[in-house]
A and B are shown apart, each in its own frame.
Chain A
Amino acid sequence: MLEALMQFRHRRFRRDLSAYVDDMLSERARRRLEAHLDSCEACRQELAELRVTVEALGSLPMAEAPRSFTLAAAPVAEVRPRPAARRLEFGLRLATATAAFALALVLIGDFAGLPGGGDEEEEWVRGELYSATRATPAAMEAAPVGTPEPAGIADMPPVVATPTPAAVRVVPTETPAAEETPPAPEAAPVEEPAISADVSEEEPSEKAALEGAGVEDEGQADGAEAQAVDEEDEGGGLSREEAVRWLEIGLGAGVGALVILWAVARFRRSIGNRP
């Protein structure tokens, strides 16, 4: 027990030896250490070695500077990114990533065939071609009766062929309704997804033509009436598609405006923080 206490005191005095060399002990601590040194050979030895070490370190020569380090010109002010600027940088990156993600969503939506998607435009073209080709045999059948127009319509390009449904509708007057109804589901999605500018421009005239056709065909076969109703629905689809498009544009513009507003606000704040 006494041995352990002595060891503890010895370790504590050893710790003070360095400060004792530099005369940095308080008067009381110095007197205690000196009393201990009188009775502790190991500490005296260690103190002597410590003094030699300090002396050896002090004997290290100071080298001459290899050249002058004077400055020829005042150094340019340090350009360290300020914390606010660093946060701004992160925020801009985040905003860019968000905008890119939103754009990706819109593109995926387009290609996945969601309302307003480009694929549906292709559907429309295919539908038109299909209805036109379906119409051709009917027109051939009708030809002997003296209605040759639909044959020519089949050769028309899809966009220009907008009157095709009307032409198809003319045909049932000569043929059984059962034969004419199948193209209707094909033709139904025809105009709804149309999104290209060309098609949109033609929409009013097309719609008018369709409506006109519907009015003209009111007294005709049931199948034709159903088709006319479908075509009216197509008019509603067009407005929905428009709405989706404007929604997309609005969302894009909104995100962009938010990013710009946020960036301006951050810049103002960072400028305001400057001393």
Chain B
Amino acid sequence: MAIADEGQLVRSSQKGDLDAFNTLVQAYQRQVYNLCLRMLGAAAAEDAAQETFIAAYRRLSGFRGGNFRAWLLRIAANICCDELRRQRSRPAASLAAALEAGSPADVPSDSAGPEEEALRRELGRHLQQGLATLPAEQRLVIILRDVHGLSYEELTEAMGCSLGTVKSRIARGRARMRDYLMARRELLARQFRHKE
């Protein structure tokens, strides 16, 4: 979502204008929440999203211009990675189980028939499980690129790494996802045949 006067809102927010900041929150909360949802699962996504906006407000003085969405998603990504590290340190908590339990594949589609909806949900569940098998940095870049549609330039900002690293991570992440989905080729064929 693009905001008409995003730069002005950011500058006002930096001066302590909470209303201006909340306008930015409303514009980006869906993207931030969805990134957290895909990275962490439904159980932890809400807290991570809220934490992102609190952290963003506190760090506004550190924003030196550029792409605000990429800057915000970078904060969200860091919070998600911290949470993943915390989850890894807790042996009882399984990320795959958490992601599956709060599977965002259950998100209803706007206009889908019952059969298509069932297929879409099944594919979504598999995709989510496939994403959960990726290392965190590959999962992050795949979600940001292929789900959220960030440009490569935005990705370098959001991930804080070079274009070459971004390309390499995307290639490796996609190759893994391809392997995962090709093992469920039938599901993919049904889904895309149905779409045709």
Contact = CB atoms under 8 A, between A and B. Distances in A.
Contact of A57 (B46, B58, B108, B177): B177
Contact of A60 (B18, B57, B127, B175): B127
Contact of A52 (B33, B59, B192): B192
Given A18-B170, A57-B146, A63 B175 contact: no
A41 interface: no
A74 interface: yes
Contacts of A60: 38, 104-105, 124, 127-128, 147
A29 to B, nearest CB: 11
B58 A77 contact: yes
Interface in B146-196: 146-147, 149, 152, 167, 170-171, 174-175, 177-178, 181-182, 188, 191-192
Interface of B is mostly: helix
A17 B52 CA distance: 34
Contacts of B124: 60-61
Contacts, number: 116
B131 to A, nearest CB: 8
Interface of B: 16, 18, 21-22, 25-26, 29-34, 37-38, 46, 49-50, 52-54, 57-59, 104-105, 107-109, 120, 123-124, 127-128, 142, 145-147, 149, 152, 167, 170-171, 174-175, 177-178, 181-182, 188, 191-192
Interface of A: 15, 17-19, 21-22, 24, 46, 49-50, 52-71, 73-75, 77-78
